[in-house]
Amino acid sequence: MANYSKFTDQELAALLKEGDQVAYTEIFQRYKALLYKHAFRLLNEEHEVNDLIQDLFLSLWQKRDTIVFKTSLSSYLYSSVRNRIFDLITHKKVVARYIDSIRDFIEQGNYITDEQVRARELAVIIEKEITALPPKMREVFKLSREELSYKEIAQVLNISDKTVKKQVHNAVKILKLKVTSLLIIFLLFLTIILVN
């Protein structure tokens, strides 16, 4: 029987894609402690880190057929941990922001329609997310909202029309993704508050 501990990461990754459970177990044993330490330095929360690492390795096994290791197995694993940490931190901030927002709404005692609440909150969310865009992208996007053409924006900022178009497209893509997820969370919390 082969000694998997002597295999390179590249060999293990190839075996993993073929559905080799022993290779998967070796990857888990080789990286779980390192990834745990890396995640714990950033999150400092044992329960969250354990969940994150378990989720990562579960996903690794479930998506083994479709995973593309663009650089190396270790780079893929560390990038996956980093992305999950960013998602978790973003989610915590969003939840905290909406809890505060809903608490303020209830304390003010303003009994306005759900549609008005959603419209107001959505406007605030969009403005905050626009502010969070990278500076150049934000500048291009704000000018596009002033109904300037791509050509006019390109002249103002001394960049190409193609760059303007790409920056606006990327900004819309980012905003659509963030606003959609934030709106779902907001509606969920609003429902919970109203039911209770």
Query: pLDDT at position 95, please?
Result: 59
Q: Whole-angstrom Cα distance, residue 48 to residue 43?
A: 8
pLDDT digits 0-9 by tens, 26-51: 999 999 999 999 888 888 888 888 99
CATH class of the domain defined by 4-87: mainly alpha
> Has residue 196 got a pLDDT over 90?
no
pLDDT digits 0-9 by tens, 146-162: 777 888 888 888 888 88
Number of H helices and number of E strands within the chain? Answer: 8, 0
Query: pLDDT at position 57, please?
Result: 94
Residues of the chain with pLDDT > 90: what percent? 24
Q: Comparing 4-87 with 112-195, is the CATH topology the same?
A: no
Residue ranges per structural domain of the chain? 4-87, 112-195
Of 192, 185, 193, 183, residue with least CA distance to 125? 183
CB proximity list for 81: less than 8 A, separation 6 or greater: 35, 38, 39, 52, 53, 56
In three-state form (DSSP H/G/I as H, E/B as E, the rest C), the secondary structure along 128-141 is HHHHCCCHHHHHHH
Tokens 């690794």 correspond to 60
Mean pLDDT estimate for the chain: 79
What is the identity of the amino acid at 122? Answer: L
pLDDT digits 0-9 by tens, 103-147: 565 555 544 555 566 667 667 767 777 788 888 888 887 877 777
More confident residue, 144 or 165: 165
Q: Whole-angstrom Cα distance, residue 25 to residue 61?
A: 10
- Looking at the whole model, is its pTM more than 0.85? no
Mean pLDDT of 175-190: 66
- Assign 182 a pLDDT band (cuts: 50, 70, 90): low
Query: How far from 90 is each of 66, 107, 125, 136, 188, CA to CA, in Å?
Result: 27, 26, 14, 22, 17
Cβ atoms of 167 and 136 closer than 8 Å: yes
Output the CATH code of domain 112-195: 1.10.10.10
Query: pLDDT at position 92, please?
Result: 67
- Assign 171 a pLDDT band (cuts: 50, 70, 90): confident
Of 33, 37, 35, residue with least CA distance to 76? 35
- Assign 18 a pLDDT band (cuts: 50, 70, 90): very high
Q: Whole-angstrom Cα distance, residue 118 to residue 115?
A: 5
- Assign 70 a pLDDT band (cuts: 50, 70, 90): confident
